[in-house]
Amino acid sequence: MFFRQFKVEGLGCYSYLIGCPAAAVACVVDPERHVGQYLEAAQANGMQITDVIDTHLHADHITGSAELAARTGATVHVHPGVQAAYPHKPLKDGQRLRFGTAELEVIETPGHTPNSVSLALTDHARSGDVMAILTGDLLFVGEIGRPDLAGADLLEQQVQNLYDSLYKKLARFPDWTEVYPAHGEGSLCGRGMSAKPMTTLGFERRHNPLLKAMPFEDFRSVMTGGFQMRPPNFAAIVETNRRGPALLSQGPAFTALSTGEVELAVRNGARLVDVRPQTAFGAAFVPGAINIGGAPSSVNWLGMVVESRSDIIIVADSEALARKAALRFRRAGYDRLIGFLPDGVAGWASRGKPLDHLPQLTPAGLKHVLEKYSDHVVLDVRTTPEWQAGHIEGAVHKPLSDLIAGELDVDKDTHVTAVCGSGYRSNIAGSVLKSRGYAQVFSLIGGMTAWNAFRRTGGA
């Protein structure tokens, strides 16, 4: 049997190529949109990809099933409850799919979504026993799938489904059964996933509090609150995956744009997304741009700020970095990437175009400002648990997700310093405020990490 796991950094997505070189056949489970890696691995091992399986209707990334079907002729399999609008075969509980010595048994395991499945894997070259379970978003390493993404009206039902799937559907498998999830560290589909790529049922039953014979009422209490905000673009991703995503080759050309083309596009509603580091953005940026940064997780934050139906122009330090960002953004359904500034902010400035800036205050600088100006607003954009763990005296708390979704209740001429944990989210907040017309906005470089270190050394 052939078995290989793939990971998308930032999104934390895991996918799997499973097959049998002797039989020359393979399937892909939960593929990401850029499918070249699966094709290369299959070809290198003498296998043809004949089938594609999505364990559930994904909300955080665009499935690669359409790409694989178009490039290989593979059959796509999904749960019938997904009501997929593209050619597919429905998965049924107890169904078995055979790929040479590899066999997958379909197990209905709703909870994360109403129409989720897990796949019990047997390698008949070694044994008739199930060796592993591909749990989709049911069970992660150190965590379980969040049940709230299907909507508040289904939450109670989903919590019960999740409990039954974990405690009843998986009960027949022994402790030594390996667990391979569809997500890991970096994903928004759970709260605190481990960076470890796999686990065993026994280890989770012993060390995962949610799987340690927890009574349902205690389970329900934990699973009905405290989840990170669902990014607004999740709904668009779900609908795209239900409908069937367009092929990457069908998207608009991603090309270098002149300053005139950028100005025209922005007047017509295009969004400027700046993926440069925080300090570079702070020094100078094209007015109206949102600073997302270039980290692998930046696409999650893009989903908080920019609608997936928006035309997007990327601002980066080079064409290579712009194209790298575009690849990440397409994974989350941002297909209207119309171009990039070929020579970045420097080229924009050299043509006499206006620039804005977001001053980066050090902890010492912020201390001085607060001592001199009593009306200066410190805006803490961290989550509620982060805020409760400690904050700057007198600060105003407004989590970034709330700031993005609403307005800040202060005058637009007020001097505001945005603060987060490390300086990443505060730059997003600062750029959002700037785009809304706030004139005097600053960002605390290094965030609360730097502020606390400053205090420990006697600086505040």
Which fold is adopted by the domain 360-456? Oxidized Rhodanese; domain 1 (3.40.250)
Q: In the chain, what are the domain boundaries?
A: 2-223, 251-350, 360-456
Q: What percent of the chain has pLDDT over 70?
A: 97
Q: What is the average pLDDT across 5-12?
A: 88
Nearest to 168 by CA among 112, 213, 132, 207: 213
Q: Does the structure show a pLDDT above 60 at 405?
A: yes
**23 pLDDT higher than 70:** yes
- pLDDT band at 191, cuts 50/70/90? low
Mapping DSSP to helix (H, G, I), strand (E, B) and coil, where does residue 361 land? strand
Is residue 291 within 8 Å of residue 285, measured between CB atoms? yes
Q: Looking at the predicted structure, is the pLDDT value of residue 399 above 80?
A: yes
Query: Which amino acid makes up residue 311?
Result: D
pLDDT band at 401 (very low <50, low <70, confident <90, very high): confident
* Banded model confidence at residue 229, pLDDT cuts 50, 70, 90: low
Fold of 251-350: Oxidized Rhodanese; domain 1 (3.40.250)
How would residue 187 be classed by pLDDT, with cut points 50, 70 and 90?
low
pLDDT band at 293 (very low <50, low <70, confident <90, very high): confident
Are the folds of 251-350 and 360-456 the same?
yes
Quick check: 65 pLDDT over 90? yes
Model confidence band, residue 186 (pLDDT cutoffs 50, 70, 90): low
Work out the pLDDT band at 437, boundaries 50, 70, 90.
very high
Residue 333 has a pLDDT of: 92
What backbone torsions phi and psi does residue 459 show, to the nearest 5 degrees? -80, -20
Whether CATH 3.60.15.10 fits 2-223: yes
**pLDDT, average across residues 117-140:** 96
Single out the residue of 226, 210, 222, 224 nearest to residue 154, CA to CA: 224
- Mean pLDDT value across the chain: 92
Model pLDDT, residue 347? 92
pTM above 0.75, yes or no: yes
Residue 298 has pLDDT above 80, yes or no: yes
Ranking 267-281, 288-302, 377-391 by mean pLDDT, the lowest is 288-302
**Using one digit for the tens of pLDDT, what is the confidence trace for 168-184?**
999 999 999 999 999 98
The C-alpha torsion from 290 through 293 and 296 to 301, rounded to 10°, is -30
Residue 240 · residue 63 · CB < 8 Å: no
Three-state DSSP state, 308: coil
